[in-house]
Amino acid sequence: MKRQRHVEGIAKDTLYFILEASKSTMPVEFAGLLRAEDDVITEVIMLPGTESSSKSALIRLYMLPNMEVVGSVHSHPSPNLRPSRADLIFFGKTGDYHIIAAPPFDETSWICYDGTGRARRLPILDVELEDDEEDWFD
Ligand code: ZN
């Protein structure tokens, strides 16, 4: 679908958000899509209609607005970080950076895969995130 895009890494705050969200939705899977700004993953999009259970999360791609995504994120309620067969099919459709997070949801309990399901390096970057809602207080 969308053209493949290279990113330098993921913003630390975005990764923490993913880990926190994954932890708080337990035992249900957390799922979303990843967006990048200036070649850094800074945003997690949760699409309306996403169905989650303790076994799977179904993202309805037709709910995706016309925006570029670089990949996806979802959590596994068990400490198994390997992508399932369904995960691999989904990875092939939605970009080249796919994070799976698993308990205990810390900085070491996640792996990033490429569109074919091969583990890939995704550096954690210390970048300032722009928060539009906070501009008002500047
Ligand atoms: Zn999975």
Residue 29 lies in a domain: yes
Residue 1 lies in a domain: no
How far are the Cα atoms of 26, 105, 134 from residue 70, in angstroms, in the given order? 25, 22, 26
Domain that holds residue 47: 9-119
Per residue of the chain (138 residues), what is the pLDDT tens digit? Answer: 445 678 999 999 999 999 999 999 988 889 999 999 999 999 999 876 677 766 666 777 766 667 789 999 999 999 999 999 999 999 998 899 999 999 999 999 999 999 999 999 999 999 988 765 555 554
Asked if 29 is an active-site residue, the reply is yes
CATH code, domain with 72: 3.40.140.10
Residue 65 and residue 75 in contact, taking contact as beta carbons nearer than 8 Å = no
Residue 41 lies in a domain: yes
Residue 97 lies in a domain: yes
Instruction: Read off the pLDDT of residues 51-79 as tens digits, 9 standing for 90 and up.
Output: 776 666 677 776 666 778 999 999 999 99
Provide the whole-model pTM.
0.85
Q: Which of 8, 29, 37, 128 is catalytic?
A: 29
The contacts of residue 88 (CB under 8 Å, 6+ apart) are 116, 117
Calculate how far, in angstroms, residue 100's C-alpha sits from the geometric centre of ligand 1: 7
Distance CA 87, CA 102 (A): 14
Number of domains, the chain = 1
